Structures are given as C-alpha cells and as structure tokens.
Amino acid sequence: MVGYGWLATLVTVAILAGFSSVILVMLMGQSRVFYTMSSDGLLPKVFSDLHPKYRTPYKSNLILFVFVGAFAGFIPGSVAGDLTSIGTLLAFVLVCLGVIILRKTDPNLARPFKTPLVPLIPILGMLVCTAMIISLWGPTLTSAIVWMLIGLVVYFGYSKKHSKLK
C-alpha cells in the first residue's frame, strides 16, 4: 500500500530486534548446556571453564558467539529460523519421551514439575511436534539431518569415550 513504507520499516526493525533477543537468550542457555555436558565429559573441558570472577562459562560463550556469528553471516535468515524451529521441536519430542521413560524406569524420582495424564500428554506432545517437524521445508529437514549426523559423530568419536558415566 502506498504511504505505509514506514510501517514496513518498523516491522522489519521489530523482527530484527526479536531475532536478536532470541539468539542472545539461546546462546546464553546453550553455553550452560555445553558447560553441563563438558562437566559430564561429553564435550571437551574448554566448555566447562568458568571465569574466575563472574563464575560463568566464558570460553563456551566466546566459542558459541564466534560459531553462531559465522553461521548467521553465511546462512539466510529463513534457513536459520527453520533450523532453530526444528531443533526446538526435536528437543520437545525428546523431553516428552524422557518423561515417559523416567516414569517407567525411576518412578520414585523427586520431580519438581509434574506432568498430568502420563503417557497421554507426552505422546500427544511428541505427535504434534513431530508433525510440525515433518511439515517444514525439505532442505531444512536435510540440513537438520546433517547436523544430527555431525552430533552423532561427536558423540561416538569423543563423548562416549570421555563420559564420566560411561
């Protein structure tokens, strides 16, 4: 529409601000996930090094900032958004599966959060998230499979040998 160019610009700025805040929060969370995995021996020790003063996983943050920055510089925003979606949905599927497995294998485990109607709710969660994953664009699914294979190579090449739990 004529005369609403300012609105398009405003929406674009809002989208960029939204993406930036989501990426920042995800990076901060991911560095803590890598810290925990490193503490368990699943990733190299550099990911669990804490800053002497602030007690944050600063090396993990730096590595992730460089990696994600390079990734964002060379990957179109739509692909990055779809990969983020597929990763989040897959994590939800795994959490739902974990709820079912832990209820069976360790029913007396202390649970600060309760899931009602197990296994119905986790099964429905897995089905909905899997349907959303399948509905994503073909190249995104291919990219996600490649990243999953890279993760499996890391696991079987490094993590399995170094795991503290064995």
The per-residue pLDDT for range 53-80, each reduced to its tens digit, is 999 999 999 999 898 888 878 888 777 7
Distance of CA 154 to the CA centre of its chain: 16
The long-range contacts involving 8-17, CB below 8 angstroms and separated by at least 24 positions, are none
Per the confidence metrics, is the pTM higher than 0.75?
no
Q: What integer pLDDT is reported at residue 28 of this predicted model? A: 85
Structure tokens at 82: 């779809």
Query: Which residue bears the tokens 């939800």?
Result: 92
pLDDT one-digit tens code per residue, 87-146: 889 889 999 999 999 999 999 988 888 889 999 999 999 999 999 998 887 888 888 888
Question: Residues in the chain, how many?
Answer: 166
